[in-house]
A and B are shown apart, each in its own frame.
Chain A
Amino acid sequence: MRREHLAAFILVIPIIVIGAVVVRYEPAQRPGHVRPGVMTFNLTGVAADGVWTLSDVNGLNYWWRHFKPATLYVTEGDWVEINLRSADLLHCFYIPAFSVGPVDIEPGHSKTVSFRASSSGVFQYYCTSMCGNCHFYMRGWIVVTAPGEDPVEPPAIACPLCLPDFGPPPETDRLVELGAYLYLQKGCVTCHGPEGRGGIENPNSTKATVPDHATTAQKFFLASPEDAEAFIELVQNEVDLTALKDPPEIERLAVVTARFANAEEIIRIGRYSAKLEPDGPVPPLQMPAWKYLVDERGIDALLVYFVSLYPWEEG
């Protein structure tokens, strides 16, 4: 029996030792987690849900759980440390307000960023590397509260694309409807706002906010609702605008056409948002090049959708 006991001992000891090591270095218990004066967060990027989450993402929950974007609450003056990981693919983490990043986060390579929460307010962090359908929703809030004050509750960020009821493309050949669908499906809405109303803040960009699309008709120099209608119809029927011999009754059609071609090109090749302060952070929201992601018809669909958004009755 002595040999049996020895054998059992030999079996159990390494299991206990390895178990202890795993528990000891389990990420939530990593050293430094509760260092005084330091707020530590573990964020994991999950592409399927388009979030940076505080939850521990592992083999057990990744396949079925929907993760929520993390809101980080800190007090003004705190030293904030964020351990970043990726559950699936390459993400890029960026907090322009505190000049943190952009830093690439690959699966299995954790990185730590830190900053002093020097001013109070509500700030946004982003993923700035396209990581799938839900990429454009992949952001969250950092709420910095002055000592003694109650933290404010920032608005929720939900990704409609990740919801199961985001349906298939509309069965229509109307470009405006297709454009409205693409506007949501491709994620344009996240930066350019619902119904193209814009107003989404783009820190340190010369324009301060992302351009809206509700005024596209005006930018195209379309003078009246009738002209806009007629123009939409031209694009709908795939008329070659530059080869029109007998221009229809649209005022300054040449200007409109040139403006339209210019807008097409911006969607195709993207646009760099210039810095307001040259020494400041790169503006987090950059217009991607959609050349390979949306076909030519889709680009036209988006543009006529923008034209259709103009609030004519308000003058």
Chain B
Amino acid sequence: MPLGRRVRQIADYWPAGLVAVGCGLAMLALGVHDPAPATTREVSIVARQYGFTPNRILVDAGDVVELRLASLDVVHGFFLEGHDIEAEIRPGKLGFRLRRPSTGEDFHDVEEVSFVARRPGKYRYRCSVTCGTLHPFMQGELVVRPNIPYRAGVVGTWGVALSALVLMIVHPRRGGGWAEIGGGTSKRIDLLAGSARFQRLVKSRWFQFALVVPNVVILLFFIVAGLLGSPIGNRNIIVTVVWILWWFLLITVLVPLGGRVWCLACPLPFFGEWFSRRRLVTVQPGADRSESLRSGSLNRTWPRRLSGMWVQGFLFLLMCTMSTILVTRPALTAAVLGAMLAVALVIHAVFRRRTFCRYLCPLNSWISLYSMAAMTEIRSRDPAVCASCEDHSCVLGTSAAWGCPWLVNPSKLSRNNYCGLCMECIKACPNDNLGLRARPFCSDTVIHRYDEAWMAFIMITLVIAYSITLLGPWATVKEWANVTEMGNWGGFAIHSVAVWFASLVAMPALWYAAALIGRALGGGGDVRPKEIFVRYSYALVPLGLAAWAAFSFPLIMVNFSHVTSSLSDPLGWGWDLFGTANAVWRPLWPDWIPYLQIPLLLLGLAAALSSGAAIARSLYSSRRAAIGSLLPHGVVCSAITLVLLRLYVG
């Protein structure tokens, strides 16, 4: 593309530039404020399992804060981000022990500590002495006003929303959409065509085995660690690596870049697949057509009625209802992972191919939904070749490759949702017509079933719920969610009902109301409300993925030293394999967390509105109708962004 045309094309986006300048001015205006006269504030904070009282402290920039700390039950810590304060609070003592982390000094006894709240923003104070199961989530928040990062985020949200609107008005046919409906083939990079070595690797029968086996060994070791190791989550590798490191990598790297690439390496179906195939690396085509446990599996077909996403969606919700307990109890995590191994084995013995992964794995509902946004896909290179193909090796298998284990027809793939990236079809295709391709973010934009739409509602609601229970400062909510220790079953019922109601009823109802309003604004027409409701739900995919990423950054950054210390001492038995077991807990650049979260959320919103615009254009031919129908959904997406901003940085 000639440079001149590119410049003109960029210049076409002047309205967005205008909005950006406006927002910039607004932000500048926010920075200018009458500083309140600095005062001295005396704050007494009382710690208990698992929260601080008060859990939110508001001060003005320049204030001197005099802090006293006490504990009500066990020894707690107090680590204030951005202010170089770490304390150890022992119950039954009037003072506390203080040190300045930056100096590396030892604790010394003090009665109180004072600091000047200089930089505006939100700073968390967290427990820094392992105090029980929910220790890693025990926190409160200090807000130094004016909270400029938060205000900037709010202005940014308005900016993104207005830019999207203006762009849709000015460029009805283009306007910010980087996605093409129906999975166009432009802007694709064929990853296999470029490198013969990579192609040989992917086509090797050892490829998947080599990726899975390390995970199988690690999983088995983790299960042993969960059962025999320390009962405290942050000292046990199964919790730190699975729920902190792996979950973070899945959300921020594996799914956005590779889509379902985790399914390629997942150890859970390993033993089941081994049992039903009777092969680890080679191919025995008879096995996946056998109806006998002697030569393969019974290869039954999963009941049609259960083949939607509903079962997995419910299982995922169930897991998430228990997740505060799950992610803090190594033995429970081990039991759940062990149970999944066992259930996968049984399902593989009875049902065809990867029935377990497709219809029962709770995580599939999460990965499947967000893989739509992923930047990797397996697709037919030339649909014409597939159309004239008669032997359907990719579905049926050959002597060199299994038929598609994921029960899809690879030659007709148009979305990522149910393709496990196992690469069997690439090995099978006699015409070499299946390609592994890189593509722009948010390329699959078609949701056309209720169950898939509901997954989008469930996932976005859950990330809000998690941000409240795990990352919030509310001890009561943690107590409700942590029922097996606290025994507050009434609270647990409130918590569970709220989560289920919000994700299954409230969020969809809100979306449906938006669909009805949108249809009216779009001038009715022959697009049914169901279609608006379901198709636009895709907007929640990029937004949700960004929200999950914003949620997972504090998890990994705050708890990273738990990961390194438990790698060195996986079972919490006092080993020290790499010399990091006894390292002092330190959050990793905690001051930077808001500056990662705000852009992530704004990018997610931009991607959501841009996908929404693309969907609107495919639904309506008139500009007015397209904008009108998208408007209420855009408002809901912006509102969700604002809620998350409030929780993270407000």
Contacts and interface: CB of A to CB of B under 8 A. Distances in A.
B46 A11 contact: no
Contacts of B229: 58-59
A62 B331 contact: yes
Interface stretch (A126-134, A200-208, A217-225, A226-234): A126-134
A107 interface: yes
A108 B581 contact: yes
A201 B329 CA distance: 39
Contacts of A243: none
A47 B220 contact: no
Interface stretch (B86-94, B193-201, B434-442, B624-632): B86-94
B308 interface: no
Interface in A21-69: 22, 25-27, 47, 57-60, 62-63
Interface string B48-80: 000000000000000000000011111100000
Interface string B123-135: 0000001111101
Interface stretch (A72-80, A83-91, A166-174, A189-197): A83-91
Contact of B217 (A15, A22, A289): A15
Which of B71, B75, B565 is packed against the most chain A CB atoms within 10 Å? B75
Contact of B93 (A7, A57, A132, A289): A289
Contacts of A155: none
A4 B92 CA distance: 64
Contacts of B205: 3
A177 interface: no
Nearest to B224: A22
A3 B279 CA distance: 10
Given A59-B231, A292-B71, A130 B91 contact: yes
A107 B232 contact: yes
B227 A63 contact: no
B209 A293 contact: no
B130 A107 contact: yes
B130 A90 contact: yes
Contacts of B74: 47, 89-90, 130-132
A115 B176 CA distance: 74
Contact of A59 (B214, B221, B236): B236
Given A18-B221, A59-B330, A108-B581, A27 B213 contact: no
Given A4-B282, A63-B484, A108-B230, A292 B72 contact: yes
- A interface: dominant SS: loop
Contacts of A132: 73-74
Contacts of B282: 1, 3-4
A11 B234 CA distance: 29
A7 B210 CA distance: 9
B574 A109 contact: yes
B91 A108 contact: no
Given A60-B331, A85-B574, A129-B75, A293 B130 contact: no
Interface in B386-405: none
Interface string A225-260: 000000000000000000000000000000000000
A118 interface: no
Contacts of B72: 292-293
B334 A59 contact: yes
Contact of B281 (A3, A18, A25, A106): A3
Interface of A: 1, 3-4, 7-8, 10-11, 14-15, 18-19, 22, 25-27, 47, 57-60, 62-63, 83, 85, 87-90, 106-110, 129-133, 269-270, 288-293
22 contacts: A1-B282, A7-B281, A18-B221, A22-B228, A22-B571, A26-B573, A47-B132, A58-B227, A59-B228, A60-B227, A62-B331, A88-B231, A106-B130, A108-B130, A108-B232, A108-B572, A108-B581, A129-B75, A130-B74, A133-B73, A270-B94, A292-B71
